[in-house]
Amino acid sequence: KAGVTQTPRYLIKTRGQQVTLSCSPISGHRSVSWYQQTPGQGLQFLFEYFSETQRNKGNFPGRFSGRQFSNSRSEMNVSTLELGDSALYLCASSPQGAAYEQYFGPGTRLTVT
Amino acid sequence: GENVEQHPSTLSVQEGDSAVIKCTYSDSASNYFPWYKQELGKGPQLIIDIRSNVGEKKDQRIAVTLNKTAKHFSLHITETQPEDSAVYFCAARGGGADGLTFGKGTHLIIQP
């Protein structure tokens, strides 16, 4: 089976812009979770989607949003980018939900200048 | 919410020796504890996990132990090899509706 894929792999944006990141889960997996990884804060949970519904949300501002499509592919959006949003954004898919094993993609490296 | 502490932050061992990484968690309702290995430029890779109804789990050279009373769990790697060099993360899923809470990571260095 193919693993989790994320596009793009690298992205450079300017402060104030918005960005959309994409994630394709492992075939058959219905749950997609998003995490932010930074050197200072480590890995932090953003949100989880299951069958097109957001089930859980981490402690991030409303500028961070996401959605899931009927084919389980997911996108996350960050509006009004700030310098502190520079991070590796990781997507993880799970067959049944975040309570079970999650498999991560390679991530999207976002740099905000 | 859940809080996970991980120690040490860096661990250097001789090739062939064992490595142990320890984590503690705060939420007594946590029920799922995975371990991930992350190599440079890659996403975290699930290497082993354990649930709260099990005390120990092994997979070849890797084992994880869980002490629910003390709220800590550990990763044991035996007969370490150069390819074990990476950053290892522990995580816990709390009793609430959150995703995984991760430790800060341990940089494992295998000395030849």
pLDDT in tens, B31-54: 899 999 999 999 999 999 999 888
A11-48 pLDDT, tens per residue?
A: 999 999 999 999 999 999 999 999 999 999 999 999 99
- pLDDT score, position B71: 95
| Number of C-beta neighbours around residue A39 at 10 A | 7
Chain B nearest CA to A7, separation (Å): 13
Measured between CA atoms, the residue of chain B closest to residue A89 is: B43
Decide: residue B40, CB within 10 A, 0-12 exposed, 13-18 middle, 19+ buried: exposed
- B42, A35: Cβ pair inside 8 Å? no
Hey, which bits of chain A come out as E strands?
5-7, 10-13, 19-24, 31-38, 42-50, 53-57, 64-68, 74-78, 87-94, 103-104, 108-112
Interface test with B, best of A26, A36, A41, A45 (most B CBs within 10 A): A45
CA dist B1 and B4 (Å) reads: 10
Distances (CA, A) of A64 to A9, A21, A85: 19, 11, 10
Q: How far apart are CA A31 and CA A43, in angstroms?
A: 18
Res B61 pLDDT > 60 = yes
